[in-house]
Amino acid sequence: MLQNNKKDVTVWLAKKLSRPMRYTIKDLHTDFPDDDACLKWLVEYLYPDGITCKKCETVTKHYKVTGRKAYACTQCGHHVHPTAGTIFHGSSTPLTLWFYAIYLMAANKAGTSAKQIERELGVTYKTAWRMMHQIRKMMDENEGTLSGEVEVDETYVHANVFKRSTAIRMYGPTGARSGQIIFGMVERGGRVIVKHVPTAGVRVLMPLIQRHIAPGAIIYSDEHGSYRSLHRRGYRHLTTVHSRHEHIHPVNERNHTQNIENFWSTWKPRVKGTFKHVSPKYIQVYVNEFAFRYNHRNSVSMFWSLMGRVDK
């Protein structure tokens, strides 16, 4: 069980590295040249006040066990495994490769494919694919509440189930009936929450809106019928009519959905260009990755934003 008083990773970075504004691949190799250095960082991050020995029931000195990802109590010999409860748990892949994979995921704005990880790390495709999905699990931020001015929209991902059952292709609304549907909510100047939904009907979208958008918020949307009852549910609702080629309302220039549309225009080409084919089963985790990048677009370091979530 991990202790709850672990350090904020950005504080650790400022104190230990003294270079919080930029983190390069050279810095990564300098700070984490081997697995022992990686494990030492993990211990310092998870146990900032020292490791509490379960047998001694107090904070005791621990030493690194040679050849193992473990530390032992100097008094009773009880072992502690820092990787337990983290994305590294149960993996035989060296921690240096894990840290490098996290760095690549953070540094590449267009996303990183498992084939690229396979080539750069020298691991099997199966190992690379698993590592990528473990890292993407840390990027799930689809909870919380949005407020103020919020834009909502739905987009469609067409599933080509005949030629390649695991593939998705990008289409517009014409693919709605046979495709996968992604629903997005973005707070202007803030976060985005994106959900893979079974339909774009009011019975699906309205509970999501009420769960993630605070009452009293101003909601901007297109003319989709599922949004018509928003004003009866405690929201101020403004609409742009895309069928009349309205992208910004001719009278109220704040009445638009450009932020969520920009998110779609960023996500779709990058998924199609980087990953080529994505199973409908995993659409949500790929959307999570790009939502995380959007939400942390102003972070000091995307790498350290991810490293602070290794135990999520």
Q: Where are the domains of the chain?
A: 1-82, 149-282
* Cα distances (Å, whole numbers) of residue 135 to 99, 103, 163, 216: 10, 10, 30, 36
pLDDT in the model for residue 175: 42
Q: At what angle do helices 125-137 and 283-295 cross, to 10 degrees?
A: 50
Contact status, residue 105 vs residue 98, Cβ threshold 8 Å: no
How far, in Å, CA of 113 to CA of 104, rounded? 10
**What pLDDT is attached to residue 4?**
43
Q: Tell the CATH topology of 149-282.
A: Nucleotidyltransferase; domain 5 (3.30.420)
* Cα 261 off chain centre by: 19
> What is the residue-level pLDDT of the chain in tens, covering all 312 positions?
334 445 556 555 545 444 555 788 888 999 999 999 999 999 989 988 888 888 888 888 988 888 888 899 988 888 999 999 899 998 999 999 999 999 999 888 888 888 999 999 999 999 999 999 999 988 998 889 999 999 999 998 764 433 344 444 444 444 444 578 999 999 999 999 999 999 999 999 999 999 999 999 999 998 888 999 998 998 999 988 876 666 666 556 788 888 999 999 888 877 777 777 777 888 898 899 999 999 988 877 888 888 888 887
